[in-house]
Amino acid sequence: MQWSDEGVVLSVRPSGETAAVVELFTRSHGRHLGLVHGGRSRKLRPVLQLGNHVDAAWKARLSEQLGFITVELRRGYAGSIMSDGDALSGLTSLTTLTRLLPERDPHPSLYEITLFVLSFLDDASVWPALMVRWEMALLEELGFGLDLTSCASTGSTENLIYVSPKSGRAVSAEAGEPYRDRLLRLPPFLAKGRQAPVTAEDIRDGFVLTGHFLESRVLAPRNETLPEARGRLAATLGRAA
């Protein structure tokens, strides 16, 4: 059994003295693990940093085995954001949350979005909004996508500014007014057809929105919580709002 693919490094665990068990998010083979010989060597350590984009080749005698992976760097994202604490938290959160995907199950569209987010991690004016969109896409891939196209109550497609925390559907300003304290805010950049500059408050609202559904629908049934890095990120961005 063998394949060649491209992927993003999600985690690296030491195995023995020189090898590492590496987890990749690949384009065609989904989240996949394998043993990398010399994965802890000076040569491969810079390559096997979280978030780096690599070419990978996997080989095993049987498909259910862990197998061996060889990697070659395509593009290193980690090195360019080492001095940016928020971007590092974003990257850590992204790689940790990607591990929610089932193993060896391809998610090519999420993979594309992941690469897109990673390529903007050095631009602080862009990546926080992209990260919120990425979390929306993750929810979609996990089967818990939000329906933000029309109001859950009236069917209207205008003035959608809330999201129901129960149904995950958008709610218009008029229909949501009596329940505004119980509804989640829908930031304009996530609403279809609404063009507006993204503010820090929008980002915070976006993270609250995706965080709520990630916690209640994905993590709570698994007895897990949101990554600490994401909490730090949301707190920092919240302070900026």
Partner 1 sequence: MSKKIAGPEIERLVQLLARLPGLGPRSARKAALALIKRRQDLLLPLADAIKTAVEKIVECPQCGNVDTVSPCTICRDERRDPSLIVVVEEVGDLWALERAQVVNARYHVLGGHLSPLDGIGPDKLNIGSLVGRAHSDDVKEVLLALNATVEGQSTAHYITGELARANVIVSRLAQGVPIGGELDYLDEGTLAAAIKSRRQV
User: Is the Cα torsion angle 220, 93, 141, 173 positive or negative in sign?
Assistant: positive
Query: Is 13 a residue that touches partner 1 (CB under 8 A)?
Result: yes
Residues 6+ apart with CB under 8 A from 73: 46, 47, 52, 53, 54, 55
CB of 62 to partner 1, least distance (A): 26
**Member of 6, 106, 232, 238 binding partner 1 (CB under 8 A):** 232
Nearest to 234 by CA among 203, 190, 213: 203
Instruction: Tell me the C-alpha distance between 1 and 227, whole Å.
Output: 34
Instruction: Tell me the C-alpha distance between 184 and 4, whole Å.
Output: 43
Instruction: Tell me the C-alpha distance between 156 and 130, whole Å.
Output: 26
Q: CB-wise, 23 or 205, nearer to partner 1?
A: 23
Coil, strand or helix at 200: helix
Per rule CB under 8 A, count of chain residues that contact partner 1: 28
Q: How many helices (H) does the chain have, and how many strands (E)?
A: 6, 8
Query: Is 53 a residue that touches partner 1 (CB under 8 A)?
Result: no
Query: Is 114 a residue that touches partner 1 (CB under 8 A)?
Result: no
Stretch that binds partner 1, among 24-32, 54-62, 84-92, 161-169 (CB under 8 A): 84-92
CB of 226 to partner 1, least distance (A): 10
Stretch that binds partner 1, among 42-50, 112-120, 186-194, 215-223 (CB under 8 A): 42-50
**Member of 52, 98, 164, 210 binding partner 1 (CB under 8 A):** 52
Query: Is 88 a residue that touches partner 1 (CB under 8 A)?
Result: yes
Q: In the complex, which residues of this chain contact partner 1 (CB under 8 A)?
A: 11, 13, 17, 45-47, 49-52, 73, 75-76, 78-80, 82-83, 85, 88-89, 91-92, 96, 227-229, 232
